[in-house]
Structure 1
Amino acid sequence: MKASLFLIIFLLSTNSFAFTLNIVTEQFPTYQYLDENGKLVGPSVDKVTAVLAHADVPYQLNVEPWHVAYNAVTRNPETCIFSIGRNNEREDKFNWVFPVGRFTSSFYALKSRHLKLSVLEDALKYRTAVIRNNFSHQYLKENGFTEQEQLVVISSFSKVLEILETRKNQLDLVVLGDSQVQDASKSNKLMQHLEPVLKLDHFDNQLYFACNKSVPEYITDKLMKSFEQLSLLDR
């Protein structure tokens, strides 16, 4: 009996030690971004790495374009992602482990276009660029926007600049995170030609650390408990 109990404990501890969590994210200033030395930094990174260290969960972290990171966490077991918004389309796909911050997004237009929007429905008569599988892409589809009529789907934030240069006559609006625009405007003059024309504010604007549902429950439980314990220490 004692030998069997020892074997069970040994196997559980060995399994825990052998497990390495795969984590994916994107550059999303100011929440997480690569500094001048190529190191991923930012408040979301600080929170996530603190929880992982407290929970003593080994991990590897990769920075990818959003659509690559999102595909990875939906398809690959033992994978988690941050910072991801929570909506109806995503709700049942992931385990939502802990929050990492809040965000805001807006419709942006070229200042030279003098576009005015009062409500979301006003944007239905325009062509709007969105990042594939981004929160705003899914949110607009939930509210009647289609890729056949209103939406131009792009692969990453960097493509926004390319579109502004080459296709600005075929495009009216772009939906972006406000912090991304503010950060990019510091170094790119093209971004300074954009102005916010309508804030998207009718949804949960919390960002999360979320995991593929194949991540073992004992791992997500450890992370949740560590987040709660660290949150208590911060009060």
Structure 2
Amino acid sequence: MRIKKIVYYEPLDDLAHLHSKFSNLNIMMNFTKLLVRFNIQYKVSCKFLLTLCIVISVDVFGAKEVDVALVTEHFPPYQIVDQNNVLSGFTTELMIEVMKRSQYRYSINAYPWTVAYNFALKKPNHCIFSIARLSSRENLFTWIGRITENNKAIVWGLKNKQNYKISSLEDIKKYTTAVKRNNAPHQALLEMGFSEGINLYVLDNSNALINILYSRSEIDFIVADDITISYRAKLAGIDINQLHKEYEISNLWSEFYLACNKNTNQKVIDNLTLIIDEIHKDGTYQRLLGNWKNKMSYRK
């Protein structure tokens, strides 16, 4: 599976320095091809190549070992990977601030959600954001701190199909709701008694969520909060006013968190927890949130 976006940060480092190191890695790879092409004597070439590999690999990888590997997904407006593969967004900026204060060497990688989730689940010193704190996940991760405000989960449908009679979650179960695989609505609705293939239609691509309301007549609803729905509509080229709030699901992903693998170094856990608490108390959180408020509004 192709990685959607990789961004690398490290204290006291810069992108030009990083680029030069990866250029060295390309030189090493090209040199290897050259040796094979001209069939240079095995013993001499291997000995030289081994030395070259050691020197360059220390430069490229040794200096780039990280204390914390952050993983995330493209989830506008919290994490945004644009067409130029630049990663931005409110929680992205928040996590950069956290890591700057920590002074840890770190990386931020944006993957498809399932890939990011499994990295954080299985690899020590890997942490994931923005992740909903569901009961089914509670014992799977070490939960560091809240990184978003409360967001209400909304069931959305098309206005021109407003012939539904919805007054409870049980009414929603009579129809078909599209969700993204392994995300919070998917897992939460399964916990609430929904079933794949019966009243849940599972997608691997979140960008298709709104489009599927138009392209598949059997799909009645999607689930998103007030904040992300406007971005999904914009990406799909759809007027958000064509969508209608059908039902508000209580107790579904009220907040997003930073969470780490259960085997992450305890000093890292304690330090990140303290820093996130400080960021909420010293006004940094509200300042960063204020910078993104206009971009994160539902209707204008």
TM-score normalised to structure 1 length = 0.83
CA distance in 2, matches of 1:191, 1:79: 38
Deviation by residue 1:87-117 (Cα, 9 ceiling, x = unmatched): 1100000011011003232111122211342
User: 2:108 — aligned with what?
Assistant: 61
- 1:67 and 1:156 in contact (8 A); partners too: no
User: 1:73 — aligned with what?
Assistant: 120
Deviation by residue 1:190-231 (Cα, 9 ceiling, x = unmatched): 464432211222345111000111111111111112223333
Change (3 A) 1:123 1:22: same
CA distance in 1, matches of 2:156, 2:222: 5
Change (3 A) 1:187 1:228: closer
User: 2:271 — aligned with what?
Assistant: 222
The structural deviation recorded for 1:129 is 0.8
Change (3 A) 1:195 1:148: same
State the aligned residue count: 218
Report 1:55-204 matches (<5 A): 55-102=102-149, 103-114=151-162, 115-167=164-216, 169-190=217-238, 192=240, 193-203=242-252
- 2:152 and 2:250 in contact (8 A); partners too: yes
Q: Which has the higher contact order (CA 8 A, sep 6+)?
A: 1
* Aligned-residue identity in percent: 32
SS at match of 1:87: coil
Matching residue's letter, 1:41: S
TM-score normalised to structure 2 length = 0.66
Change (3 A) 1:190 1:73: same
CA distance in 1, matches of 2:155, 2:185: 10
Point out 4+ residue stretches in structure 1 off by more than 6 angstroms: none
SS at match of 2:131: strand
Q: Which of the pair is proportionally richer in strand?
A: 1
**183-192 vs 123-132, which deviates more?**
183-192
CA distance in 2, matches of 1:232, 1:164: 42
CA distance in 2, matches of 1:123, 1:230: 39
The structural deviation recorded for 1:234 is 2.1
Change (3 A) 1:144 1:181: same
Change (3 A) 1:229 1:77: same
- 2:152 and 2:253 in contact (8 A); partners too: no
Matching residue's letter, 1:173: F
Change (3 A) 1:191 1:151: farther
State the superposition RMSD in angstroms.
2.2
CA distance in 1, matches of 2:273, 2:144: 6
Q: Which of the pair has more CA radius of gyration?
A: 2
Counterpart check, 1:51 vs 2:130: no
CA distance in 1, matches of 2:141, 2:232: 30
User: 1:31 — aligned with what?
Assistant: 78
The structural deviation recorded for 1:140 is 1.0
Matching residue's letter, 1:40: L
CA distance in 2, matches of 1:88, 1:141: 12
Unaligned runs of 5+ in 1: 1-16
- 2:70 and 2:126 in contact (8 A); partners too: yes
- 2:153 and 2:252 in contact (8 A); partners too: no
Matching residue's letter, 1:95: T
